Every structure is written in C-alpha cells, then in structure tokens.
Amino acid sequence: MRDERLKVLAKTLLHHSIKLQKGEKVVIKGQAVTKPLIIELIEQIYEIGAFPFVELKDDEVSSVLIKGNTKEQLEIYAKWQLEKYKDIDAYISILGAENASELADIPQEQNQLYAELTKTVNQYIMSHTKWVVLNYPTKGLAQRAGMSIRAFEDYLLSVSTINYEKMELAMQPLKELMEQTDRVRILGPGTDISFSIKGIPSVCNAGKWNIPDGSVLTAPICESVNGIITYNTPCTYNGLVFQNVSLSFEEGKIVFATSDQTDKLNQLLDTDEGARFIGEFALGLNPLINHPMGNTLFDTKIQGSFQFSPGRARQFADNGNRSIIHWDMVSIQRPDYGGGAIYFDDVLIRKDGLFTLKELEQLNPEQLK
C-alpha cells in the first residue's frame, strides 16, 4: 500500500504518541504486510537521529509455537525478551493479521501459560518504555469489518490520522468530571448497572498508546459494581467471537454470565479470581468510528459507546484488580443500537450517545470532527 497518509501516520506515531528523541532506541514490531509503514517509520526515525530496530512476526508460526510451548521454554524466552527491552526507550507494535482467527484453535491452557509467563515482559514495556499499538489494513481485517480492502485502507488511514491534539484538549472537561464523580449508573436495553469511580484516576486516550484512539477511561471500585449489563457488540478474545454477552454483578463480582457460547465464556471468566471483576470503564467518542468490526482497537473507541472490561486494571487507572486477562467489552448507546443513558451522581451526562452537559458538548461528533 502506498499512501501519503502513511507519512502523516508515521509522524503522528513518532512525534505525538511516543515523542521520540534523538539518540533513543525504538523497537518496531510488525508483520510482512506492514512493511510500507515500517519503512516510512525507519526513514523518519533516522531523520530524528534515533535508532530503529525491527522485528517481523508471523501469526501462523506463532500459533504453532504457542501450541507446543513448555514452561521451561517460555521462561527462557521471557528472560531474553526482558533483557532486550531493558535497553530500549520506545516500542511500536503494528498489528497486521491476515487471518484474525489464526490463534483461535490454541488450547486455553496454552494461552494461559503463555500469558502468565510473558506478562513480566509486557508489564515492563508498559511501565518503562514509551509505547503505542496500532492496526494496519489487511484483507483479514477488511473482511471482518465487511469492507473491501481499498475501502478499509481508506477508512483506517482516515481514522488513524484524525487531529489527536484537538481531541485531547476537548477531553479535559470529561476527565475532570470523572475525577469528581462518585456514583455512575448506566441504563439501556438489558442494562441497569451502578458502581463507584471515586478516587480512581481518569485518563484521556487521544493517540498516546493506541491508534486509532478516542476514549476517556477510569475504573470502578472493584466491589462496588451491582446490576446487569448486556453488550450489543461482538466480544472478541484470542480469536474467539462471543455474541449477546450478558453479565450479572453482585458486590463487584460476575455471578452469572451468558452468551451464544456460555460455556466458553465462563471458562475464560474462571481463568483466575480477577477475571470476574472489572478492570476498566471508558466512554468511546471517536467521531469517525461508528460500528463494530470485531477489533478492540477500533470498537473501544466507537462514538456513543462505553467499555466495561473484565480482568486486569490499567496501570494508569488502577483499581487494584489483577488478572491474566483484560477483556475489552463494548456496548453502543446511540438510537440505532437501542439507545441508553449514563448518569454521574444522578446527573444525566450522556443520552443516546450524545453528551448533554454544556461543558461536554465539544465531545459530540459534529464538534470533534
């Protein structure tokens, strides 16, 4: 793919997301199909005076490796990786899966073993490097989105090169309101849930860690969640796709869970104790992302949506929940998806996907484009 917007995207990644400086070392991880962006990144990194290092991976090869991984092998692998990243300043991960379901047939116990023994590497990258993750347009992602590859390329590059500086400025009033809020209540079809976010930091997601981006996140106090939530978008995890997921909560814990694959859903939620508690709550507001495509980097930013994620808390909005998994689940509240309302301390702040408070109106799609 050759597109002038790749230059803009590379510039956004280097100057807005990771703010790469002269002399810094950056790892770029991608796949063969992502080479056009990798090459653009390398050229701009050299212009900055920094040092690029490239890793190309293959999901088909990774699938075979993970299926046969042993504890001893993964411990060696994690040790090597950790030592490498101790000498790196920044990390760019370009996701370019040709087959979005390539990892779907890996046994759950092997996925858990891999996640458990490599989590120290991921935690180190997130805590000690400047990092960003993004998608690259592939035929597999285009097919999952129900789009032609040319239409998907155009869509992805348009969404990924939105004005993130403008978005981040517009998010500040919502961030401040979240940090002043105690009780949250969410209403919608099959949903009536309440919880507290008191004392938990909120974070503006405007292109720093993810591209595309567009959400403001925090987390509930773990034991405060009560009620029921029904998600109206597909919930994907490790290549598996779950429809009509419904979760019931008592004192923070998921006590009842159903979907079109109820047994598999509960198997994942039984991964560990923290998997049945919520680690993240966020409001999606990217004006160019309107419908789910089975890709969490996009779906969690859908305009008029909210995200309520079982599992591990984010380090920058930490409610103390710990788990191997972090499962981003999304529900859309625009009228075309059944509508809904969100209240902060009994004050309506968003109705049918649009913010109702004057200080938040700049986050509505016509203002944010």
pLDDT in tens, 3-28: 788 999 999 999 999 999 999 999 99
Question: If you average pLDDT over residues 305-315, what whole number do you get?
Answer: 96
Poorest-pLDDT segment among 62-71, 100-109, 336-345: 100-109
Q: What is the pLDDT of residue 63?
A: 84
Q: What is the pLDDT of residue 74?
A: 87
Residue type for position 45: I
Mean pLDDT of the chain: 93
Which long-range contacts does 268-271 make (Cβ < 8 Å, 24+ apart)?
268/108, 268/237, 268/325, 268/327, 269/310, 271/112, 271/323, 271/324, 271/325
Question: If you average pLDDT over residues 323-331, what whole number do you get?
Answer: 95
Residue 139 has a CB neighbour count (10 Å cut-off) of 14
Domain 5-160 sits in CATH 3.40.1830.10: yes
Q: Considering the chain, what percentage of its residues have pLDDT values greater than 90?
A: 73
Rg (CA), the chain: 20
Cα–Cα dist 8/162, whole Å: 10
Task: Tell me: pLDDT of 236 over 70.
Answer: yes
Question: If you average pLDDT over residues 188-193, what whole number do you get?
Answer: 98
Task: Tell me: pLDDT of 275 over 90.
Answer: yes
Question: If you average pLDDT over residues 94-115, what whole number do you get?
Answer: 80
Helix (H, G, I), strand (E, B) or coil at 202: coil
Q: Are 27 and 62 in contact (CB under 8 A)?
A: no
Poorest-pLDDT segment among 144-153, 273-282, 318-327: 144-153
Cα–Cα dist 254/309, whole Å: 11
Residue 109's pLDDT band (cuts 50, 70, 90): confident
Cα–Cα dist 320/141, whole Å: 34
Question: If you average pLDDT over residues 308-324, what whole number do you get?
Answer: 95
Residue 100's pLDDT band (cuts 50, 70, 90): low
More confident residue, 174 or 74: 174
Task: Tell me: pLDDT of 256 over 80.
Answer: yes
Q: What is the pLDDT of residue 122?
A: 87
pTM score, two decimals? 0.84
Q: Are 193 and 226 in contact (CB under 8 A)?
A: yes
Question: If you average pLDDT over residues 227-243, what whole number do you get?
Answer: 93
Q: Are 309 and 278 in contact (CB under 8 A)?
A: yes
Torsion 194-198-201-205 (CA) sign: positive
Look at the block and give the residue holding tokens 């004057």.
358
Task: Tell me: pLDDT of 367 over 70.
Answer: yes
Q: What is the pLDDT of residue 198?
A: 97
Q: What is the pLDDT of residue 5?
A: 87
Poorest-pLDDT segment among 101-105, 191-195, 347-351: 101-105
Cα–Cα dist 264/267, whole Å: 5
Task: Tell me: pLDDT of 188 over 90.
Answer: yes
Q: Report the length, in residues, of the chain.
A: 369
Question: If you average pLDDT over residues 197-206, what whole number do you get?
Answer: 96
Cα–Cα dist 174/216, whole Å: 7
Contacts of residue 293, Cβ cutoff 8 Å, sequence gap at least 6: 141, 144, 145, 146, 299
CA angle, residues 296, 101, 60, in degrees to nearest 5: 120
The string of DSSP codes covering 254-321 is EEEEESTTHHHHHHHHTSSGGGGSEEEEEEE-BTT--S--S-HHHHTTBTTEEEEEEBPPPGGG--S-
Over the stretch 133-187, which tens digit does the pLDDT of each residue have? Answer: 999 988 888 888 888 999 999 999 989 989 999 999 999 999 999 999 999 999 9
Q: Are 213 and 282 in contact (CB under 8 A)?
A: no
Q: What is the pLDDT of residue 2?
A: 66
Residue 304's pLDDT band (cuts 50, 70, 90): very high
Where are the chain's structural domains? Answer: 5-160, 164-368
Q: What is the pLDDT of residue 1?
A: 58
Give how far the C-alpha of residue 266 lies from the chain's centroid of Cα atoms, to the nearest Å: 22
Give whole-number Cα distances, 3 to 21, 40, 249, 306, in Å: 26, 11, 47, 32
Task: Tell me: pLDDT of 224 over 80.
Answer: yes
Look at the block and give the residue holding tokens 């860690």.
209
Cα–Cα dist 353/305, whole Å: 7
